[in-house]
Chain A
C-alpha cells in the first residue's frame, strides 16, 4: 500500500495538476502567497491581512456569509428554474410537483427560501456592523453607498421571488406591496402599472416578477458585489483603528 506521501505525489507530481496549481503545497511564505495570487478565485484576497480584521468579534463574518448565501441562492435557484414555469396555469402546480415528485425538490425549495430569508437578515446585520465600527468612513464612503444598493437589491430580489409560487401568501403580499407603490405622488400609478403590467396582480405580473427575479435584478446584484469586493481591496483592505494601521490623514504623506 502506498504511503500518504506517495499518494500526494501521484496526485500532484504531474502535468495536469501542475498546469492548474503552479505552486507547491502552501506551507511556506512563498507558496502561501502564490496560492493566493495564482488563483482566480483567491486573488480577490490580499496576500497578507491585518490581524485586527480577523477577530470574529470585528466582522462576525457577516459579509462572507451574505456572499455565500447569494451563491447558495444562485445554485438552488438555477435548479428550481429547471422545474418551474412562470405562468398562472403552471406555477402553482410546478411548486406542488417539486414538493411531491421531484427528487430533493422539497429540500431545494426549502433551501432557496430559507437562504433568502437568512440573507435579508445577514445583510442588514452586516450593514449595522459596518456603521457601528466606523467601516463606512473615508476612504470607504463609496463602498458604503454600493452596500446600501446591495441591501435594496437583496430586499427586491426576495420580494420578486415571493410572488412566484402563486399562492395566496404570494398574491396578497405582492398586492399589498404594489398598492403601496401606487400611492406615490405623481408617478405612483404609472410605476405600479409598469410593475404589475395590468390593472390587477395577474399573469402579467407573474412574468414581470420572474424576469426581474432571475435577471433584471440579479445581474446588477452580481456586478455590484464584484464592485463591492474590488473596492474593499482598493480602499486598503478592511478598516481597522488608525493607531494600529497608522494610516496617514487624508491626502497626507507621512
Chain B
C-alpha cells in the first residue's frame, strides 16, 4: 500500500490541471455551438462599461441639479402632518389605512416575501426560460392582470375614502380590521384566478398573472401613498399636497 508519494505526484511532470469539483449531469455549455457565444472581452465588458458610465452621468447631473432634503432639527413634540414613511414604504403605509396594523405592517409583508421566495419551487417547468412573459398568452395575461388590478385598486381606495368600510361596520374591530380586508384580498385573488383560467394557462402563465398583480399593486399603492395622500393621509391631488408630503 505504502507507495512512494513522489511517484504519485512526480515533480515537474508538467501537469497543468487539477480536480476542481464533481458535478452531476452535463456542463451548461454542452450542446452549444461556439456560434451562440462571444468573447466576454470585449463584448460583455463594453456593455458593462457603458451601463456604468450612463449611470454615473445620470447620477452626477441629478446630484448637481437637486439637493438632498434637510428639514428642521428633529422634534418629538412637533408631529409632521402627514407623517409619512420613506417613499419606498408608502405601499405599506397605504394598506395600513385600510386594515389592522399587524395585518398591514407585518403579516402581509412577511407572507409576500415567503411566497416570492417560493415561486421557483412552485413552477418547475423549464421550456419558457429566457422568454419575456413566457409566451404570447403570457403577455396577454400580464396585460389583463395589470388592467384588472389597477381598476380594482382605484375602486377600493376611492370606496374606503368616500364611503368608508368603518362607517358601514365599526364594531367589533375584527370586521373592519381583519375579516373584510382578508375577504377582499382572497376574493379578488380567486376572481383573478377564475378569469385567467379562460386562457387555459400553464402554471407559469398563471404565476405571471399573479406576480404582475403583485407588482402593479406594489407600484400603484406607492404612487397613491406618496403623491395622493395629504393632510391626515386623506386623498388629495398631487398639486394640492401640503408642503413636506413628498418623502424622498
Contacts and interface: CB of A to CB of B under 8 A. Distances in A.
B58 to A, nearest CB: 8
A95 interface: yes
A46 B105 contact: no
B172 to A, nearest CB: 17
Interface stretch (A7-15, A176-184, A218-226): A176-184
A99 B130 contact: no
Contacts of B215: 128
17 contacts: A33-B41, A45-B45, A49-B43, A51-B38, A64-B52, A72-B55, A92-B74, A134-B128, A135-B129, A138-B120, A169-B70, A188-B106, A201-B76, A247-B28, A251-B25, A253-B25, A254-B30
Given A65-B52, A169-B244, A176-B83, 18 more contacts: A49-B44, A56-B47, A64-B48, A114-B66, A117-B248, A118-B55, A132-B142, A141-B121, A152-B113, A155-B88, A158-B88, A159-B86, A168-B78, A169-B71, A172-B79, A245-B130, A246-B30, A254-B31
B40 A45 contact: yes
A171 interface: yes
Contacts of B73: 92, 166-168
B156 to A, nearest CB: 21
Nearest to A111: B63
Nearest to B104: A180
Contacts of B27: 236
A245 B36 contact: yes
Interface stretch (B131-139, B158-166, B193-201): B131-139
Interface string B188-206: 0000000000000000100
Nearest to A133: B132
B130 A52 contact: yes
Interface of B: 24-32, 34, 36-45, 47-48, 51-52, 55-56, 59-60, 62-64, 66-76, 78-80, 83-89, 92-93, 96, 100-102, 104-106, 113, 116-117, 119-121, 123-134, 142, 204, 208, 211, 215, 218, 244, 247-248
B189 to A, nearest CB: 18
B78 to A, nearest CB: 7
A106 B43 CA distance: 37
A111 B67 CA distance: 9
A24 interface: no
Closest 10 A-B residue pairs measured CB to CB?
A: A236-B28, A171-B74, A180-B105, A110-B63, A141-B120, A246-B31, A183-B101, A241-B130, A61-B51, A113-B68
A144 B119 contact: yes
B66 to A, nearest CB: 7
A133 B131 contact: yes
B126 A137 contact: yes
B89 A177 contact: yes
B171 to A, nearest CB: 20
Contacts of A247: 28, 31, 126
A227 interface: no
Interface residues of A, number: 101
B61 to A, nearest CB: 10
Contact of B106 (A132, A138, A181, A252): A181
A145 interface: yes
A124 B88 CA distance: 11
B70 A250 contact: no
A131 B128 CA distance: 11
B36 A185 contact: no
Contact of A144 (B37, B42, B48, B120): B120
A248 B30 CA distance: 9
B30 A49 contact: no
B55 A69 contact: yes
Contact of A249 (B106, B120, B126): B126
A86 interface: no
B124 A138 contact: yes
A49 B37 contact: yes
